[in-house]
Amino acid sequence: MKYLLLTLLLASAATSSSAQQAPASSSPTLAATHADSVEVIHKAFRDSRRFARFGTLAEGLASGSQISILASGQLHDAPVRQTLCITGSVIYSGFLAAFLVRWVRFSKHQEVQAIRRFELHQPQSLYVQRRLATYALPKRKP
């Protein structure tokens, strides 16, 4: 209850302080160009591919090490460790599959398709929209 009250107080203070601010300077607002938008799409896809490659490598190594420990037969006398190793390998394999899906979703082919959809003024896929929402357009000098 006290957290709800604190949150409401902070929200009302933030809205009242933002309402009292002076209007922005009369500098012209710069609109994003076509090249800026394409650059944001390119950057989002490139960053996602890099993250997916790193995650695939890390999870592949982790999953492979767990599976190699299981395959070596060193844990037959320790059932608790064997269970933990099996659980770990299943979890790592799940993460590996998620990174592989991300790698495919943000492939260069999908990037070309997203740029083509942008140029044809068609809606992007939901996962692309969510990814692009985290990127801001680059600031342009007046």
Q: What is the pLDDT of residue 107?
A: 94
Q: What is the pLDDT of residue 2?
A: 44
Q: What is the pLDDT of residue 34?
A: 84
Which token pair is 132?
Answer: 């692009």
Q: What is the pLDDT of residue 29?
A: 47
Q: Where are the domains of the chain?
A: 32-126
Q: Which residues, 6 or more positions from 21, have their beta carbon under 8 angstroms from its beta carbon?
A: none
Q: How far apart are CA 132 and CA 135, in angstroms?
A: 5
Q: Tens-of-pLDDT digits for all 142 residues of the chain?
A: 444 433 433 444 444 444 444 444 444 445 668 888 889 899 999 999 999 999 999 998 988 888 888 888 777 777 888 888 888 888 988 999 999 999 999 999 999 999 999 999 999 999 999 998 888 766 666 6
Q: What is the pLDDT of residue 139?
A: 64
Q: What is the pLDDT of residue 12?
A: 47
Q: How far apart are CA 42 and CA 72, in angstroms?
A: 44
Q: How far apart are CA 10 and CA 69, in angstroms?
A: 52
